[in-house]
Structures are given as structure tokens and as C-alpha cells.
């Protein structure tokens, strides 16, 4: 044990125990509005109570909290409040309620100047990305590309999920929308099968292949029905269609059928989508079966107009609307990917900001111009049924089907092997014990490979019915790469866990991950002894990483590439080693909260190696007694990256005593240290 640990009484395991007993911290839902609207709305208190029953900590924030103002001043104040509170309060959703006018509104959209020739785009993206500097060049015009984009500027990665209910003059309209949202979410599962039908309205001939792609790739595999209104022969089979495409035809079909989703792609302006819908026909729609509207057209959500089509539909006919606040190009991908995520079961906010995240290279203007009217936490269908959960217990009787603790699988790898398609299993509960990925084969290439969106939880005894009944400290659940001769690392798995090309986030919660030894011949097998993460977005919670190693990078965790997000909360990373990043190697975005890194070693970056495209944010973390032979005992931050810490304990600080190399070495990155 390091002398500093002896003298301080420092015990990292105690830190983890203290942190993990908080157990499953609730997500926060924040409503930003004005005190006048808060006082006048009859439905807002009911809406708050409803969201609490959905499991959220709910807070209503007014100008008394964020500082008030109008237009740009109010936007800066609102974002400033969110920046101060999103980590501390664990904010997931933000609903903006009020006058959204970007110049004079008290709850405004932010005017974003997406290029040097732009006349400005009203956008709520400004409130979702809370870590980027949207006026990086200091000219007072936010969001210019390329002037305000890049390391240190706008980073496009969302911290919170934002939706909006505009309020112009009528509190009655607000209450109607809130009441409808509550009723929509309270409908029982057996009463909402009508939502599994989509209406496509496509006046333009070029939209035929686009519509076929959405139907065949996303709707039909999920068991959805559809109806198409168009003017051209597309050859979609089976064909359920109406011709010609006119506003009257659309109104009639929409009014007399039931749809969960309506998508159009056409030209538009504030109060109309050409040959599809206008504000004169909106009152004829059936508001008892409100839809998700995806309006692919210019200007349908011009927020300065109180008669804009997106808002008119939100009042009557829709539960949420996705539409553009100005002219837009390259919008087809926005609709396709947004729809695919809604069908998967994401909320409106998740679907929108995940879509923006993954399509960040296709039109900066479109990323800002498309915004969500409505509650960002609403989804077409409620959360997944329990039947998609599987149970694993190494002490179970053989031959189980994994559907209950009594019939649990004995091996975690059995579950992963039986997942033949994404989404088949979305949650795995694992009882205390040690699990190895090779099933007795001794093959070093074997690993626990996680499917997209899957959540695995450890720390169970094997009889719990609720997640909060488990105890990961008492019921240690180990994923081990020690597959050969016990205690001989030379024959261990290259990676205990692998996530590769999964995109959608996976969750790993309550495990000890140990014994990975990435020293293979292939490049990938030289990195990430504990976890090898490539093109994926995992969240690691309440985990211990110990005694993992890598020949090249990331003894405990290797994470790449720069547009991916690695999230670690309440994790202990100790006694791991590598050439670069004994604990962590980061060449991606990373958020770490209340984590401890200690006794890790490397040539560079004993605790963390933050590489060229890394963007790491640490809050409430401790780094101490890590060692580097060359540079960066605690952290090595390479060129062209960003490294920010808030309320962290980094032993020795920036100019502290040597620890092999300097405590923190800046190789040219942007390092920001806050109190």
C-alpha cells in the first residue's frame, strides 16, 4: 500500500460503499416557466403530480430562480441555471413553458447563427448542450459554423432532453395540452394498440423510396400498420393508400382513422404544409387520438407566429410535433431516424437528440432548426414489458430458461448467446458469484459482448423482486477474465467485456470486472483489458475495475471514438495497468461522476490518458496514488482535446509533487479546472 494511503486512512472500497448505498438515484424533470404562468395554470400542479408518479423528481423553475429577463438575456440565464444544476440534480428532461419569441420572449428560443450568412435560427438545442461554448469566438452571435464549433466550442452532445410548450396569450390552451398529455400517458397498455399505425403523406414523387425504407426497415418488423396518401405509383406491398394527395383527403383520413404517428415531407410555411395540412383544417381532426407529428417541411414551427402549424396541432390533433422554425434542408434523415427511434420505444426527447447526435455531419442548420413541441418524456408506448428481463444465478439448477430466479440461467454467456436479435432481451439480473466468458473453452478471444440498449445488473442474492432490493457491496458479482490457470494472467481473456458498433447505450451496474489481459497480436486485442468500447455509448455504474491490463491502452477501460459517450458513476478503478492510461484510455466523450481512480500505473497517464479527440468531464472524482513512469501520474491530457473537472480531488493538483511523471500533464489539450 502507498504511504499516502496509510497515513490518510484512505480506503477506496469504503468510498464505493458510501456511494452505492444511494441506490438508483431518481432522474429529475425540470419545468422552466414564469411565475405568472405557474400561478395561472390549473393543470400545471396536476401535471407535476403526474410526473412524480412516473418516477421523476419534479421541479418548477421560474425567473425567481434563473434570473429572468427577456430574449437573449433570458436564454443565457436559463442555460446558466441548467448548467449549474443538471449534474447535481440529475436532470434528464427539461420542459420549457412560455413565450418562445427569441427577441422578446421570457422563455425564449435561442437565436442561433448557423453560418456567417445566416439570418438566425430559433433553437432549443442551446439548452440541451450545456457543456459547449456557443459563442466561442466572442462575437455575440451564437452557434456559427465553423467559427463557434470544434474543441472548446459547440460540441453537439446533449446533456438534457428538451421539449417546449409555447404560450402566447391563452393559459387555457396550455391547460388543454397538459391535460391531454396526462391522459395520453395514463392510457392502459391494452387500450393503446391503435397507436401502432402510421400515416405517410407524400405529395412529392421522390419520397417513394424514402417511405418504403421506413416501412420495411422499421415499421413492419415491429408489427406496425400504415396508410399512405400520395400522387404516384410506388409499388409498396401491401398497398394501403389514398389518392390524390390534397389537404381535404388528408383531413378526412386522419379524422376518421386512428394513428400513432403522422409523417409528411413537402414544402411549407408557418401555417401550412403544402397539399398536406393547414391551420384552417386542424380543428376538424380528432383530438381524442393524438398523434406524434413529424413535419418535414420549412417553417411549420415559426415560433414568432402564434398560428404556426406545429403549435396549432399540439393544441388539437397531436401529442408532440417535430417541425422546423425556419427553412431547412437535408431533412429526410431527420424524419427517418426520429421515427425509427420512436418505434424502438424511445421518448420524444431521446429520439430527437439521439438522432441529432448521430447525424451531426449532415447539416448544422437542420440540427438547430428542428425542435420539439410537447413533453419530451412522452413515448408512443410505455416502457418494455417485464418478459424481456432474464435472470442469471451460478448456483441455479441446470437447464433453466432464465425467465425467473427459480429457472435462472447458470451462465451469463448463455443469455448473451441466445439474444438473436436486438431488443429481444433488454435487462439481465445477475446473482452474486463469479462468471467467465469462455464457458470452459479457454479461448482468450471470448468476451461478454453486449447488445445495444441492454442493461445488466449485479448484486443480487437470487430472490429479489425489485431492483432497489439488491446490494452490490454485500453480494459481489464478478465478471472475470481469468479463464485459464487461476492466477496466471498470461492465458486470460483479452477483454472481459466488449461493446462494438452497438451505438445505443448499454448499462453495466453493480459488477466487479477483473482479470482482463489485452496483450494479443491484433490491434484491438492490445487495448481494454476490462472493457473494450468502440463506437458504443455504455453507462457504467457502481462498478469496480481491478487487476486488468493492456499492452497498449486502457488497462481497465479503452473507449473510442470521439463522437461516442462513456459515462461512469460511482465506480472504483484500482490496480490496473497499461502503456497509456493504466485506468482509462479516452478518445471519446466521457462523463465521470463520484468515481475513484487509485493505484493504477502506466507509462503515460497512470489514472487517465485523455487522447487527441477526448472530451472528458469529471465531477466529484478522486484521483490519487496513480503512477506513470513517463508523464501524467494521475492524468495525461493529449493535444486538441478538452478536460474539465469540477469539485474533484486530484492529488497534488496541477503543480503538485511528481508521481512518476507530473501529477497532471497537458500535452496541448484544453484543461479547465473548477473549484
Query: Three-state SS string across 1-14, please?
Result: CCHHHHHHCCCHHH
Task: Please list the helix, strand and coil fractions of the chain in percent, rounded to the nearest 5, in that order.
Answer: 25, 30, 45
Angstrom CA distances, 350 to 83, 342, 466, 503, stand at 19, 9, 25, 14
Quote the DSSP letter at residue 408.
-
Distance CA 529, CA 436 (A): 14
Task: Give me the DSSP letters along 465-531.
Answer: SSGGG--TTTS-EEEE---SSTT-GGGS-S-SEEEES--S--EEES-EEE--EE--SSSGGGB-SSE
Consecutive H or E run containing 132: none
Is the separation of the CB atoms in 161 and 128 below 8 Å? Answer: yes
Is the separation of the CB atoms in 470 and 21 below 8 Å? Answer: no
* Closest to 437 (Cα-Cα) out of 523, 526, 498: 498
The residues of the chain scoring below 50 in pLDDT are 1-24, 361, 384-387, 420, 654-663, 665-675
The gap from C-alpha 462 to its chain's centroid, in whole angstroms, comes to 30
Positions of E strands within 552-673: 557-569, 572-574, 584-593, 596-598, 601-604, 608-610, 615-619, 622-624, 627-631, 635-637, 642-646, 649-650, 664-666, 670-673
- What's the pLDDT at 672? 43
Sheet of 91-98: strands edge to edge?
Answer: 57-61, 28-32, 91-98, 161-166, 370-373, 318-324, 291-296, 261-265, 197-202, 225-230, 241-242
Domain locations in the chain as residue ranges: 192-373, 430-673
Distance CA 601, CA 578 (A): 7
- What's the pLDDT at 490? 94
**Virtual CA dihedral for 169, 170, 171, 172, nearest 10 degrees?**
180
**In whole angstroms, how large is the CA radius of gyration of the chain?**
26
Q: HSE (CB half, 13 Å, CA atoms) of 591?
A: 17
Q: What are phi and psi of 323, to 5 degrees?
A: -155, 170
Is the separation of the CB atoms in 295 and 324 below 8 Å? Answer: yes
* Closest to 549 (Cα-Cα) out of 524, 513, 519, 521: 519
Distance CA 519, CA 492 (A): 9
Positions of E strands within 399-454: 427-431, 433-435, 448-449
Please return the burial class of 420, using the count of CB atoms within 10 Å of its CB with bins 0-12, 13-18 and 19+. Answer: exposed
Q: What are phi and psi of 601, to 5 degrees?
A: -140, 150
- For 345, residues 6+ apart whose C-beta sits below 8 A from its C-beta are 379, 380, 381, 383, 384
Rounded to the nearest 10 degrees, what angle do helices 348-358 and 332-344 cross at? 130
Cα torsion 251, 338, 260, 30: sign: negative
Is the separation of the CB atoms in 537 and 504 below 8 Å? Answer: yes
The gap from C-alpha 517 to its chain's centroid, in whole angstroms, comes to 30
- What's the pLDDT at 643? 65
Q: Kindly report whether the peptide bond that precedes residue 269 is cis, defined as omega within 30 degrees of 0.
A: no
Task: Give me the DSSP letters along 171-229.
Answer: HHHHHHHHHHHHHHHHS-GGG-GGGSEEEEEE-SGGGHHHHHHHIIIIIGGGT-EEEEE
Q: Kindly report whether the peptide bond that precedes residue 613 is cis, defined as omega within 30 degrees of 0.
A: no
Determine the topology of domain 430-673 in CATH.
Answer: Pectate Lyase C-like (2.160.20)
Please return the burial class of 313, using the count of CB atoms within 10 Å of its CB with bins 0-12, 13-18 and 19+. Answer: buried
Determine the topology of domain 192-373 in CATH.
Answer: Rossmann fold (3.40.50)
* Closest to 112 (Cα-Cα) out of 127, 95, 99: 127
- What's the pLDDT at 132? 83
Distance CA 554, CA 580 (A): 6
Q: HSE (CB half, 13 Å, CA atoms) of 452?
A: 13
Amino acid at each position: 500500500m502507498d504511504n499516502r494511503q496509510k497515513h490518510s486512512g484512505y480506503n477506496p472500497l469504503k468510498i464505493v460503499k458510501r456511494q452505492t448505498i444511494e441506490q438508483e438515484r431518481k432522474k429529475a424533470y425540470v419545468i422552466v416557466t414564469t411565475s405568472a404562468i405557474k400561478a395561472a395554470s390549473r393543470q400545471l400542479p396536476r401535471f407535476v403530480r403526474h410526473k412524480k408518479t412516473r418516477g421523476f423528481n419534479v421541479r418548477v423553475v421560474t425567473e425567481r430562480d434563473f434570473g429572468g429577463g427577456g430574449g437573449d438575456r433570458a436564454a443565457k440565464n436559463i442555460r446558466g441555471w441548467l448548467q449549474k444544476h443538471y449534474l447535481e440534480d440529475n436532470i434528464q428532461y427539461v420542459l420549457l413553458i412560455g413565450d418562445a419569441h427569441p427577441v422578446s420572449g421570457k422563455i425564449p428560443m435561442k437565436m442561433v447563427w448557423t453560418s456567417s450568412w445566416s439570418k438566425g435560427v430559433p433553437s432549443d438545442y442551446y439548452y440541451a448542450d450545456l457543456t459547449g461554448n456557443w459563442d466561442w469566438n466572442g462575437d455575440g452571435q451564437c452557434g456559427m459554423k465553423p467559427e463557434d464549433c470544434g474543441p472548446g466550442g459547440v460540441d453537439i452532445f446533449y446533456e438534457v432532453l428538451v421539449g417546449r410548450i409555447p404560450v402566447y396569450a391563452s393559459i387555457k390552451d396550455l391547460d388543454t395540452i397538459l391535460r391531454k398529455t396526462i391522459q395520453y400517458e395514463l392510457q392502459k397498455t391494452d387500450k393503446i394498440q391503435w397507436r401502432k399505425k402510421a400515416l405517410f403523406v407524400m405529395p412529392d414523387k421522390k419520397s417513394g423510396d424514402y417511405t418504403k425504407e421506413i416501412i420495411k426497415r422499421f415499421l413492419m418488423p415491429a408489427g406496425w400498420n400504415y396508410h399512405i396518401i400520395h400522387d404516384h405509383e410506388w409499388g409498396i406491398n401491401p398497398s394501403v393508400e389514398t389518392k390524390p394527395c390534397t389537404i381535404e383527403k388528408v383531413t378526412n383520413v386522419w379524422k376518421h382513422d386512428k394513428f400513432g404517428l403522422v409523417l409528411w415531407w413537402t414544402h411549407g410555411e408557418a401555417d401550412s404544409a403544402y397539399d398536406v395540412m393547414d391551420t384552417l383544417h386542424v380543428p376538424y381532426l380528432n383530438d381524442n387520438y393524438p398523434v406524434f407529428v413529424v413535419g418535414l417541411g420549412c417553417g411549420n414551427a415559426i415560433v414568432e407566429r402564434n398560428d404556426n402549424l406545429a403549435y396549432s396541432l399540439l393544441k388539437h390533433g397531436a401529442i408532440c410535433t417535430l417541425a422546423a422554425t425556419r427553412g431547412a434542408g437535408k431533412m429526410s434523415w431527420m424524419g427517418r431516424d426520429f421515427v425509427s427511434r420512436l418505434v424502438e420505444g424511445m421518448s420524444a426527447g431521446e429520439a430527437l437528440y439521439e438522432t441529432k447526435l448521430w447525424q451531426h455531419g449532415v447539416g448544422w442548420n437542420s440540427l438547430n432548426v428542428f425542435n420539439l413541441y410537447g413533453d419530451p418524456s412522452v413515448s408512443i408506448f410505455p416502457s418494455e414489458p417485464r418478459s424481456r428481463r432474464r435472470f442469471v444465478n451460478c448456483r441455479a439448477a441446470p437447464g433453466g430458461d432464465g425467465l425467473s430466479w427459480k429457472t435462472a440461467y447458470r451462465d451469463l454467456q448463455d443469455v448473451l448467446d441466445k439474444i438473436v436479435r436486438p431488443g429481444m432481451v433488454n435487462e439481465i439480473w445477475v446473482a452474486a458469484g463469479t462468471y467467465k466468458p469462455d464457458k470452459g473453452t479457454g479461448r482468450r478471444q471470448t468476451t461478454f459482448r453486449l447488445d445495444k440498449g441492454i442493461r445488466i445488473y449485479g448484486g443480487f442474492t437470487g430472490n429479489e423482486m425489485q431492483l432497489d432490493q439488491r446490494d452490490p457491496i454485500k453480494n459481489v458479482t464478478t465478471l472475470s477474465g481469468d479463464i485459464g490457470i487461476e492466477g496466471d494472467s498470461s492465458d486470460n481473456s483479452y477483454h472481459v467485456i466488449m461493446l462494438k458498433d452497438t451505438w445505443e447505450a448499454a448499462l453495466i451496474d453493480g459488477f466487479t470486472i477483473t482479470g482482463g489481459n489485452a496483450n494479443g497480436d491484433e490491434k484491438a486485442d492490445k487495448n481494454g483489458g476490462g472493457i473494450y468500447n468502440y463506437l458504443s455509448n455504455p453507462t457504467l455504474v457502481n462498478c469496480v475495475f481491478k487487476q486488468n491490463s493492456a499492452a497498449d491502452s486502457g488497462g481497465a477501460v479503452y473507449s473510442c471514438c470521439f463522437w461516442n459517450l462513456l459515462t461512469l458513476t460511482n465506480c472504483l478503478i484500482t490496480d490496473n495497468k497499461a502503456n497509456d492510461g493504466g485506468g482509462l484510455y479516452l478518445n471519446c466523450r466521457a462523463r465521470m461522476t463520484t468515481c475513484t481512480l487509485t493505484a493504477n500505473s502506466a507509462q503515460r497517464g497512470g489514472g487517465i490518458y485523455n487522447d487527441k479527440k477526448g472530451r472528458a468531464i469529471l465531477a466529484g472524482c478522486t484521483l490519487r496514488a496513480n503512477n506513470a513512469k513517463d508523464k501524467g501520474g494521475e492524468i495525461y491530457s493529449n493535444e486538441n482535446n478538452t478536460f474539465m473537472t469540477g469539485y474533484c480531488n486530484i492529488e497534488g493538483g496541477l503543480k503538485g509533487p511528481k508521481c512518476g511523471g507530473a501529477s497532471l500533464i497537458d500535452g496541448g489539450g484544453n484543461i479547465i479546472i473548477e473549484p
